[in-house]
Amino acid sequence: MTIKLGCIADDFTGATDLASNLVRAGMRAVQAIGVPDGAPPDDADTVVVALKSRTIPAADAVAQSLDALRWLRAHGAEQIYFKYCSTFDSTPAGNIGPVAEALMQALGCPFTIATPAFPDNRRTVFKGHLFVGDVLLNESGMQHHPLTPMTDPNLVRVLQAQCRGRVGLIDHRTVAKGAPAIHERMAELQQAGVSIAIVDALSNDDLVRLGKALAGLPLVTGGSGVAIGLPQNWGMARKRSAEALPAAHGRRAIVSGSCSAATHRQVAAFIAAGGAARALDPLKLDDAVDTALAWAAPRLADGPVLVYSTADAAQVKAVQGRLGAAHAGEMVEAALSRIARGLVDLGARQLLVAGGETSGACVQALAIKQLRIGPHIDPGVPWCHATSAAAPDGLHVALKSGNFGTDDFFMKAFAMLDRPH
């Protein structure tokens, strides 16, 4: 069997977020870490190729994305989905515009759409302006992002600065009228020389109407929200079997390198509930991996163990002052990923990882190349199943980016695996 929808994501946890939305809309999804070597699994409707191309030089992002495109097309993809962040994270040099235009050229596709709208996570687009919750993008905190500061909420202007072709708008009044009106507007814009249209969307209903209008378009670009309206174009509807994973087994462990507010609350809730937890001190990492594993070994049989470097802003600042922010991050990621590997070697087969960068490091340490996407624990965070040299019998893993998840996320996640789906 060949895949129907081929996806290219510009970062790792964003790929999981997209795959999770596709699974919830009825597709069986697999996430590949980088461009795969072999063929996709027989029963996958979609493959999301996870790149790390958001902030690398535009030419490299284009080359990697074209590589992914070749693989996806070789395995039958009928439509390509280029996924970026729901806060449109990019610089004036790209990489959203250059990658979208390179994919259009390679596909011979003269027109596509772009929208980061994801109402379930409070990202909406109105008259081309991106809102994060109740405020415009440039007042959401994103204006201070260290790598991709977003200072203009007008996405037509932002995308135009990155594109050679003309950028236009399909506004909410057109979207509200449904697929035929959206089609008509797409044709009109194309006639007027526009090659990419930002699309307004305020609700899931808007995204479903948009999805219908996108049937047959060779390329779609967006955050993960557009995905909720696409699987029905192949006659797929939400069904439990799309999210089925093998039965869980083995020990339970959590590794947390996220210092985000939500993770703080999750770590505190786990400890308050009596969970076995051990903090990692970034200034004392010398034999930290061995001591953490020696601590964990006798406890794993009794329930989940948590190893964490999660700390408050003052503690992080103090560590960064001593080690430098980048060096501290690398050291902690290296230690936590070795601990994750060690925990799996000790029999952990249900592993939660908190932190986007931390997840990347752990997946690498575990030599995971492919993840089967299962049911979500909270929006954007599904349980996944992987096989790797570290766990040839299979491993359940959930990768939580910093601010996702309710306070009881850790307990809730394991409880889900107790129930058959």
> In the complex, which residues of this chain contact ligand ADP (CB under 6 A)?
257-260, 263, 282, 309, 311, 315-316, 319-320, 328-329, 332-333, 355-358, 401-402
Closer Cβ to ligand ADP, 71 or 409, answer by number: 409
Residue 149 C-beta: closest distance to ligand ADP, Å: 16
Residue 328 C-beta: closest distance to ligand ADP, Å: 4
Closer Cβ to ligand ADP, 190 or 315, answer by number: 315
Closer Cβ to ligand ADP, 247 or 325, answer by number: 325
Closer Cβ to ligand ADP, 99 or 319, answer by number: 319
Task: Say which residues have a Cβ less than 8 Å from residue 284's Cβ, sequence separation at least 6.
Answer: none
Closer Cβ to ligand ADP, 46 or 263, answer by number: 263
Residue 316 C-beta: closest distance to ligand ADP, Å: 4
Residue 307 C-beta: closest distance to ligand ADP, Å: 11
Closer Cβ to ligand ADP, 158 or 319, answer by number: 319
Closer Cβ to ligand ADP, 215 or 279, answer by number: 279
Closer Cβ to ligand ADP, 129 or 400, answer by number: 400
Residue 400 C-beta: closest distance to ligand ADP, Å: 8
Closest CA to 307 of 288, 284, 329, 330: 288
The Cβ of residue 82 has, within 10 Å, a number of other Cβ atoms equal to: 24
Residue 15 C-beta: closest distance to ligand ADP, Å: 14
Closer Cβ to ligand ADP, 148 or 320, answer by number: 320
SS (H, E, C) the chain: CCCCEEEEECCHHHHHHHHHHHHHCCCCEEEEECCCCCCCCCCCCEEEEECCCCCCCHHHHHHHHHHHHHHHHHCCCCEEEEECCCCCCCECCECHHHHHHHHHHHHCCCCEEEECCEHHHCEEEECCEEEECCEEHHHCCHHHCCCCCCCCCEHHHHHHCCCCCEEEEECHHHHHHCHHHHHHHHHHHHHCCEEEEEECECCHHHHHHHHHHCCCCCEEEECCHHHHHCHHHHCCCCCHHHHCCCCCCCEEEEEECCCCHHHHHHHHHHHHCCCEEEECCCCCCCCHHHHHHHHHCCCHHHCCEEEECCCCHHHHHHHHHHHCHHHHHHHHHHHHHHHHHHHHHCCEEEEEEECHHHHHHHHHHCCCCEEEEEEEEECCEEEEEEEECCEEEEEEEEEECCCCCCCCHHHHHHHHHHCCC
Residue 349 C-beta: closest distance to ligand ADP, Å: 22
Residue 314 C-beta: closest distance to ligand ADP, Å: 11
Residue 334 C-beta: closest distance to ligand ADP, Å: 8
Closer Cβ to ligand ADP, 174 or 337, answer by number: 337
The Cβ of residue 149 has, within 10 Å, a number of other Cβ atoms equal to: 12
Closest CA to 410 of 231, 256, 224: 256
CA distance 112 to 195: 6
Residue 109 C-beta: closest distance to ligand ADP, Å: 34
Closer Cβ to ligand ADP, 217 or 285, answer by number: 285
CA distance 104 to 98: 10
CA distance 344 to 252: 9
Residue 236 C-beta: closest distance to ligand ADP, Å: 31
